[in-house]
């Protein structure tokens, strides 16, 4: 029954892009073929009057995205980091979406704080400033805690943002189903799963208690990284729609003139940002999932200060190892190993030719090495990778969507800070360190130790588990077990226990 509403929403999206002039700007930025330009303009021009007018003071694409709502703004934030894909002019305009959107009134923010924390704002804070930053979901105010005099940052959700996101996501889900129906080849990209993943990420971002928990965990995992800082959370001044954190000063990562004036070594900073991201993803399995310039501040000594922890990514141990092997293979130009890692993880259907896949990967990777970083085109690289995945029937891996997206964003940030930044050369040392410590003999011993811990915990329960298995086999639906059958069950339990002892002995011997 909602299909007409979703179709209407899609029509208004195209109409808004045409009415604001964003359609022409985006097509020019990506150098779209003439046939696509003509087709889209022919479809959108007759209904352009149905589009939102937006704020005429904003550039065309920024104007269209802000008029369409928070989900579209999120998409624009990602594009703002990819000047090599959409061009420096459009990327510069879209950076407004990172933290310079029109704010909502201070009075509304104060009312929201009072409702959420249960006390008048003036009882909690001696001062609350006008908004210092405003993004798609929330805005930030500088304040002073009345009791301690400490300066803090208060993040407050935009009123009604929950409903707006749910409406946009419903339209995206309808679009995904429509794409799968009209373009069967696109089903391997699992567009509906991608939308589901986006929804789960956004819904977590709309509960600031979860963001506070993520910041706290992230801070505890990065305490030994001296050049990386996570602000402290004030739990007694936080809730679902309000989050209070330590105030930190720093230069915005997008402010190149400010970085130069402060004497920051930009090539070293770009290298540090990329390596820290990889270290957090591979070493910790927890990484900042929204690392655009608006969420990064740079301290006077070049320390990277992270902000906004609404989107965090997590990777289990197995996925980290597979991803590291893939990256390591590219860095070492060992495309056969890259192909094997894809097949072993099930990323490529088993009936495909592994040698042909390795050659396809080589055709993508080899042109990168030896090329001047300023000549690298991420748009062309992504296009080639897409062709390879389509040819070999690879499906979208939803567990890697955020990691892949964030890596693209981080690489865009580093290229903005240092246009000569080379992602492969910079990432090499971190990946090699992870592979050395987590793949090979040392990792094997660690895995055995973990297995021994699990078996030791199960040891006291083995007799009970064996008895339950016997009872289950004796149920009316099953024939009664023979003495030999009971013996096999008990023998299996004893075998597990002996395996635990053997694993423990092997570990002790290895150590």
- Whether 236 has a pLDDT exceeding 90, the answer reads yes
Is this structure's pTM higher than 0.85?
Answer: no
Band (pLDDT 50/70/90 cuts) for residue 489 is very low
By CB atoms closer than 10 A (0-12, 13-18, 19+), residue 46 is exposed
pLDDT at position 270, please?
A: 93
Name the more confident of 333 and 218.
218
pLDDT at 485: 45
Compare 214 and 97 and report the one with higher pLDDT.
Answer: 214
**pLDDT tens-place string over residues 442-466:** 655 665 666 666 666 666 766 776 6
Q: Name the nearest CA neighbour of 81 among 277, 225, 217, 232.
A: 277
Is pLDDT above 70 for 30? no
Provide the pairing of β-strand 151-157 with 242-246.
antiparallel
> Domain boundaries in the chain?
3-99, 102-135+137-247, 251-439, 442-510
- 332, with CB counted inside 10 A (0-12, 13-18, 19+), is middle
Residues 393, 396, 400: CA angle, nearest 5 degrees: 135
Q: Band the pLDDT of 473: cuts 50, 70, 90.
A: low
Q: 246 has which bridge partners? A: 152
Q: Are 344 and 371 in contact (CB under 8 A)?
A: no
Angle at 381 between CA 377 and CA 385, to 5 degrees: 170
Burial (CB count within 10 angstroms: exposed 0-12, middle 13-18, buried 19+), residue 209:
middle
Q: Is the pLDDT of residue 361 over 80?
A: yes
Q: What is the pLDDT of residues 173-216, one digit of tens each?
A: 877 777 667 666 656 556 677 677 667 777 777 889 999 999 99
The structure tokens listed for 201 are 């990420």
Which of 359, 363, 360, 366 has its CA nearest to residue 333?
A: 366
Query: 325 pLDDT exceeds 60?
Result: yes
**φ and ψ at 148, to 5 degrees?**
-110, -20
Pairwise CA distance, residues 272 & 280, whole Å: 12
Contact 417, 426 (CB under 8 A): no
Catalytic residues: 290
Read off the pLDDT of each residue in 128-155 and give the average, rounded to a whole number: 93
Summary mean pLDDT of the chain: 79
Using a pLDDT cut of 90, give the percent of the chain over it: 27
| pLDDT above 80 (res 24) | yes
Strand extents, DSSP E, 104-227? 125-134, 138-145, 151-157
pLDDT at residue number 492: 37
Q: Looking at residue 507, what is its pLDDT?
A: 32
Give the neighbor-by-neighbor strand order of the sheet with 296-298: 228-229, 304-306, 296-298, 251-252
Which pLDDT score, from 0 to 100, does residue 386 have?
Answer: 61
Comparison of pLDDT for 327 and 1, the residue scoring more: 327
């Amino acid at each position: 029954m909602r299909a007409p509403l979703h179709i209407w929403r899609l029509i208004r999206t195209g109409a808004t892009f045409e009415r604001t002039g964003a359609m022409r700007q985006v097509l020019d930025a990506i150098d779209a073929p003439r046939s696509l330009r003509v087709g889209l303009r022919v479809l959108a021009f007759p209904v352009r009057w149905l589009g939102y007018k937006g704020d005429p003071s904003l550039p065309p694409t920024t104007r269209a995205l802000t008029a369409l709502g928070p989900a579209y703004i999120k998409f624009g934030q990602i594009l703002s980091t990819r000047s090599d894909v959409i061009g420096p002019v459009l990327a510069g305009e879209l950076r407004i979406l990172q933290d310079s959107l029109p704010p909502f009134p201070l009075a509304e923010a104060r009312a929201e704080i009072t409702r959420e924390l249960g006390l008048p704002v003036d009882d909690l804070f001696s001062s609350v400033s006008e908004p210092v930053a405003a993004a798609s979901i929330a805005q930030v105010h500088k304040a002073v805690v009345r009791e301690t005099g400490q300066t803090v940052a208060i993040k407050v959700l935009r009123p009604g943002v929950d409903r707006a996101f749910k409406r946009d996501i419903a339209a995206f889900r309808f679009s995904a189903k429509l794409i799968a129906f009209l373009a069967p080849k696109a089903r391997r990209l699992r567009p509906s799963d991608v939308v589901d993943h986006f929804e789960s990420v956004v819904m977590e971002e709309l509960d600031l208690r979860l963001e506070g928990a993520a910041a706290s965990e992230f801070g505890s995992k990065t305490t030994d990284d001296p050049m990386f800082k996570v602000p402290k959370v004030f739990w007694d001044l936080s809730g679902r729609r309000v989050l209070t954190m330590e105030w930190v000063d720093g230069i915005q990562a997008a402010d190149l003139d400010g970085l130069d004036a402060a004497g920051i070594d930009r090539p070293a900073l770009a290298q540090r940002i990329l390596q820290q991201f990889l270290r957090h993803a591979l070493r910790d399995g927890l990484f900042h999932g929204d690392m655009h310039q608006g969420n990064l501040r740079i301290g006077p000594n070049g320390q990277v200060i992270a902000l906004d922890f609404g989107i965090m990514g997590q990777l289990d141990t197995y996925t980290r190892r597979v991803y590291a092997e893939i990256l390591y293979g590219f860095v070492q130009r060992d495309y056969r190993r890259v192909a094997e890692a894809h097949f072993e993880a099930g990323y490529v259907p088993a009936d495909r030719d592994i040698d042909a896949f390795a050659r396809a990967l080589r055709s993508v990777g080899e042109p990168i090495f030896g090329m001047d970083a300023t000549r690298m085109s991420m748009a062309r690289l992504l296009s080639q990778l897409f062709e390879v995945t389509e040819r070999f029937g690879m499906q979208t891996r939803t567990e890697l969507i955020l990691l892949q997206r964030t890596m693209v964003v981080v690489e865009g940030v580093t290229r903005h800070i240092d246009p000569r930044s080379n992602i492969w050369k910079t990432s090499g040392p971190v990946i090699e360190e992870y592979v050395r410590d987590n793949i090979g003999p040392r990792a094997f011993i660690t895995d055995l130790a973990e297995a021994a811990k699990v078996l030791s915990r199960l040891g006291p329960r083995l007799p009970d588990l064996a008895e339950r298995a016997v009872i289950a086999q004796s149920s009316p639906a099953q024939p009664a077990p023979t003495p030999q059958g009971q013996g096999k069950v008990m023998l299996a339990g004893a075998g597990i226990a002996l395996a635990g002892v053997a694993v423990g002995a092997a570990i002790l011997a290895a150590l």
